[in-house]
Amino acid sequence: MKKIWISGADGQLGTELCLLFSDSKTFEIYPTSIKDIDLINSASVQDFSQKNNFDIIINCAAYTAVDLAESNQELNWKVNVDAVESLAQCADKINALLIHISTDFVFDGSSTQALKESDLTNPLQEYGRAKLAGEAFVQKGIVIRTSWLYSPYGNNFVKTMLRLGREKEQINVVANQIGTPTCAEDLAKLIYTMCQDEEIHTKLGLYHYSNEGVASWYDFAQSIMEYAELSCAVFPIPDTGYPTPAKRPAFSVMDKSKVKERFQINIPYWRTSLKSCIQKIKENESRN
């Protein structure tokens, strides 16, 4: 039975991974959050990894407060760079596969075509710069860049829109930033597929993953209201109408050809996964 450490297990992706792996007879998971292991403390990371001798380390932990990262640069760097370096060193020592999650924010948004793994990076904000620096330490593992992640768990755009949709009659949402929403459950399924792959050590490297399709934040919000059957009206605005401390890329649609070819997966369309997620949120709310 393979032993898997899931760091950041209480986040969106970590929660989905724990749900997915919990029924497996092939894997034994060791989920941790900052309450269990502080990834900034390299000694704790080394002790935990060597004591358990993991086969796979999945790093879902990250400092994801994009705007706060502009002022909290030290913490942003420690979590998104230094902790990744520690995990990579530990994975190397115990000969474990490290799967690390990165972001579309490593790009500046100047492209007009779906972004490939080989395209030049140029992050516009401190968060993206730290995530890009963290990627560089995963030389013998897998890095997955994803975008606009959401799930029924934690805080995310979908849950924010659902709250606003119930509280307000109308909202304004940015329409000139283009990307693709990604359901955390779908990303978790990809990672599960990777962990099952007996040839995984021949497929190391960088991959792009999001759901299929293209959307603006306005499109995303409109669909959330539609699927949740909320009457809140959504109006499109330019990003100049909603200034933020951190700049966002204007275009970050990613090309998924590489991951689809290497792992023979079918990626769901973003609206299909969104509809399913909103149904799960409704079911969770009805049980509480």
Q: Catalytic positions, please?
A: 127
CB-based contacts of 80, cutoff 8 Å, min separation 6: 62, 63, 127, 130, 131, 133, 134
Rounded CA-CA distance 41/72 in Å is 18
Residue with tokens 């999945």: 58
The two counts, helices (H) then strands (E), for the chain are: 10, 12
Residue with tokens 């995990």: 87
Residue type, 72: N
First to last CA, the chain: 35
DSSP 267: P
